[in-house]
Homo-oligomer: A and B are copies of this chain.
Amino acid sequence: MKVLIASSNLGKVKEIGEILKKIDKKVEILSLKDIFDEVPDIPENARTFTGNALAKANFLAKKSAGNWILADDSGLVVSALKGNPGVRSARYAGEIKDDKKNIEKLLGEMQEFVEEEQRSAHFCCAMVLVSPNTEKSFAAIGKCKGKIAFEEKGDGGFGYDPIFIPEGYDKTFGELSSSVKNKISHRAKALEILSDIFKDVLNGGEI
């Protein structure tokens, strides 16, 4: 079984690949660079994380016949900002992805919310597995609850990690080690759920 991980983030491809290989050594992991000379522009215009992940997976399934596709979409959902930045997380401050500008914009909007309970937020990750003919789609969502810090801390991770403090910790994702993050993150949770589906697909189950 060949699985194309629909991400241009090689760190993410490696992380997901390692988890899938633990389930079955016969899984062959492909990255976008194994399939495309030039990685195509993948549409992300749906209204939900799941919609975006499915759109990416279906787009790639058409372009790379014969492989299973694993795609994800994730973002930060801030209660006080009515769910923003949400599906627009990566491009919150403008059409070009810029973590620094996104964080600045968000911290600016959060200035008026000074009480602890006003700063609650969660990271959300939708992860989908789509069959080669796109007939079957399996979706799982993982969430990681926490709050928005008052300032950037730490330089680990990416995106909004330096301003997100997960529940049960007093450090941001930017400060916490990647091994801690990989245990409690939204992505880890979504992948854990999808792993069960993988086991069955790999074992020729009826699904």
Contacts and interface: CB of A to CB of B under 8 A. Distances in A.
Interface of A: 43, 46-51, 54-55, 58-59, 124, 126, 134-143, 189, 192-194, 196-197, 199-200, 203, 205-207
B139 A205 contact: no
Contacts of A206: 43, 46-48, 51, 54-55, 58-59
| A135, A142, A205, A207: most-surrounded residue (chain B CB, <10 A) | A207
B207 A46 contact: yes
A196 to B, nearest CB: 4
B47 A141 contact: no
A178 B34 CA distance: 49
B54 A200 contact: yes
A126 to B, nearest CB: 7
Given A51-B200, A55-B205, A200-B48, A193 B138 contact: no
Contact of A137 (B47, B51, B137): B137
11 contacts: A47-B199, A48-B197, A48-B206, A48-B207, A50-B193, A51-B199, A51-B205, A54-B200, A136-B137, A138-B139, A141-B193
A48 B199 contact: yes
A141 B134 CA distance: 18
A48 B205 contact: yes
A205 B189 CA distance: 24
The 5 closest A-B CB pairs, nearest first, are A51-B200, A48-B196, A54-B207, A50-B196, A51-B207
A205 B139 CA distance: 15
Contacts of A194: 141
Contacts of A143: 193
A197 B200 CA distance: 22
B50 A197 contact: yes
A197 B138 CA distance: 11
